[in-house]
């Protein structure tokens, strides 16, 4: 599936229905690693909609020209753009948690 957020075309896969859980992968891989790891345990839990996105520049998700500087902002934009697609009960909490994580990612990129 595809979702446009700013200048990034995000690719993601999802499984199940119910309460959404967004699972982010680590560096150097794409959604398939997280999907392979987490589906073994999350797949058995009823009522969970598991969403596995490819982060900018990985898998089938495009990368803006200034990838590293824009990656945190583009990823956070997915949450804003997908609000209608991700009907979570506490959007403020999800946004705050992701904003904190993305801020840390951005700061890590500023180190020499």
> What tens digit of pLDDT does each residue of 28-65 get?
899 999 999 999 989 888 998 888 988 888 899 887 76
pTM as predicted: 0.64
Predicted local confidence at residue 36, as pLDDT: 94
> What tens digit of pLDDT does each residue of 71-110 get?
555 555 555 555 444 444 556 666 666 667 667 666 666 6
> What tens digit of pLDDT does each residue of 4-30 get?
776 778 889 999 998 888 888 887 899
How many CB atoms lie under 10 A from the CB of residue 64? 16
Q: In what order do the strands lie in the sheet with 48-53?
A: 2-5, 8-15, 48-53, 19-22
Structural domains present in the chain: 2-110 (3.40.50.1820)
């Amino acid at each position: 599936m595809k979702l446009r957020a700013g200048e990034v075309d995000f690719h993601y896969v999802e499984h199940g229905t119910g309460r959404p859980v967004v699972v982010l992968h680590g560096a150097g891989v794409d959604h398939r690693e997280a999907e392979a790891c987490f589906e073994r345990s999350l797949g058995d839990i009823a009522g969970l909609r598991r969403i596995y996105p490819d982060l900018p520049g990985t898998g089938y998700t495009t990368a803006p020209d200034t990838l590293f500087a824009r990656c945190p902002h583009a990823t956070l934009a997915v949450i804003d753009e997908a609000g209608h697609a991700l009907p979570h009960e506490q959007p403020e909490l999800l946004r705050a948690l992701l904003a904190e994580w993305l801020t840390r990612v951005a700061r890590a990129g500023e180190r020499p």
